[in-house]
Amino acid sequence: MKVPLLDLKAQYASIKPEVDAAIAEVLESQYFILGPKVEQCEKAIAAYSNCSHGIGVSSGSDALLVCLMAEGVGPGDEVITTPYTFFATAGAIARLGATPVFVDIDPETYNLDVSQITSKVTTKTRAIIPVHLYGQMAEMDAIMQVAEEHGLVVIEDAAQAIGAEYKGRRAGSIGHYGCFSFFPSKNLGAAGDGGMVVTNDAQRAEKVRVLRGHGSKPKYYHKLVGGNFRLDAIQAAIVSAKLPHLDEWTSARQRNAKRYDQLFGEAGLPVGIPAVVASRHIFNQYVIRVSGRDELQAHLQKNGVGTEVYYPVPMHVQECFAYLGHKAGSYPESERAAKETLALPIHPELTEPQAQFVVDCVREFLAVPALAGTQSKAASE
């Protein structure tokens, strides 16, 4: 049985007329950059996220970058974030000449260990970027409290978490800014790159909007140096066409997660399943923890099951960040997660027999006697 990690063709087939019509409308209008389709999309995503402003941007990476630019973050500044994330989070900080300061993760949720944040705050700290990894929000109460105490800006990296909730509040609506990505593999994906900044602060929204278009306002008059961070009308139209389906897709992901939890539980396998602590986990990924991860991934691949490692190399040990002077071992939970975690297929179109097959393959692998000795928790530490 083939079980792809993601099945975008199946998703497209289920909504083809709506998506095709949205694209055709933009082509008919020949209005490709910003314009009414982008404005419509901005309003819809802001409303969905319980925010008063949405600014369409070129990607989730640029969303993070433009928020930091709007705060004037630059050389000499420090920004606190997690080392266990997609590169863009730390990259945005470093590109502006600021220093990413890492805080290790909570091994249960893979999100920032909030008990360690205060010890990393210095007089140079300007902002905190919590990442809502895999679709579950970080502990925002604690993060906002530290930020308030020290006068820091909070930029939520919600690239994997559109529609996720923490104590009933939507991702992107708690910090000063929220950043979404419409990369095709995200829960709400475009047909290319795209992203959105959301905020409840009118002044911050305006600054991001100006920076998105090279800092010009009015046209050809530049008070600020921005960039070309614009969202295309075609991408915006596709995102708007897909948005009405997002909640039903999220429910399907949650159903699939429950199914895996149950199947792994029944099988009694030494597999760590995701801990759900936030009020709405949207399961951009369903990530298990297991020793012998690489061998398991190879076994699954041999059986036609697509998986991925998010992420094999934590930020503090990336070659490009060698200048920060971190050593392997300095963020032990991130390093352990990088060795032990594996994302299984969780997309909305995943069927019950497919989920059963994935668990059967995992069981088959873990039952190999030669490998059984490596499964104990002690062996993995």
Ligand X SMILES: *Cc1c(COP(=O)(O)O)cnc(C)c1O
- Where does this chain bind ligand X (CB under 6 A)? 59-61, 85-86, 88-89, 131, 157, 159-160, 181, 183, 193, 195
Both tokens of residue 214? 């090279």
Sign, CA torsion 137/138/143/145: positive
Q: What are the contacts of 116-123 at 24+ separation with CB within 8 A?
A: 117/80, 117/142, 117/143, 117/146, 118/146, 118/149, 120/80, 121/80, 121/146, 121/150, 121/152, 122/78
Q: Measured from the CB atom, is 183 or 357 closer to ligand X?
A: 183
Minimum gap (Å) between residue 162 Cβ and ligand X: 11
Minimum gap (Å) between residue 203 Cβ and ligand X: 24
Minimum gap (Å) between residue 366 Cβ and ligand X: 29
Q: Measured from the CB atom, is 85 or 136 closer to ligand X?
A: 85
The C-alpha atoms of residue 226 and residue 228 are separated, in whole angstroms, by 7
Q: What are the backbone angles phi and psi of residue 81, rounded to the nearest 5°?
A: -155, -175
The C-alpha atoms of residue 135 and residue 171 are separated, in whole angstroms, by 9
Q: Measured from the CB atom, is 161 or 358 closer to ligand X?
A: 161
Our measurement of the distance from residue 70's CA atom to the centroid of its chain's CA atoms, rounded to an integer in Å, reads 21
- Residue 67, classed as helix, strand or coil, is helix
Full DSSP string of 283-312: -S-EEEE-TTHHHHHHHHHHTTB--B-S-S
Q: Measured from the CB atom, is 89 or 199 closer to ligand X?
A: 89
| Structure letter (DSSP) for residue 104 | P
Bond before 323 cis per omega within 30 degrees: no
- The secondary structure element, H or E, covering residue 198 is strand 195-199
Minimum gap (Å) between residue 336 Cβ and ligand X: 19
Minimum gap (Å) between residue 142 Cβ and ligand X: 20
Q: Measured from the CB atom, is 48 or 110 closer to ligand X?
A: 110
Q: Measured from the CB atom, is 153 or 355 closer to ligand X?
A: 153
Minimum gap (Å) between residue 299 Cβ and ligand X: 26
191-209 burial, b for 16+ CB within 10 Å, e for fewer? bebbbbbbbbeeebbebbb
Minimum gap (Å) between residue 174 Cβ and ligand X: 16
Minimum gap (Å) between residue 62 Cβ and ligand X: 7
Q: Measured from the CB atom, is 159 or 171 closer to ligand X?
A: 159
The C-alpha atoms of residue 13 and residue 22 are separated, in whole angstroms, by 15
Q: Measured from the CB atom, is 59 or 354 closer to ligand X?
A: 59
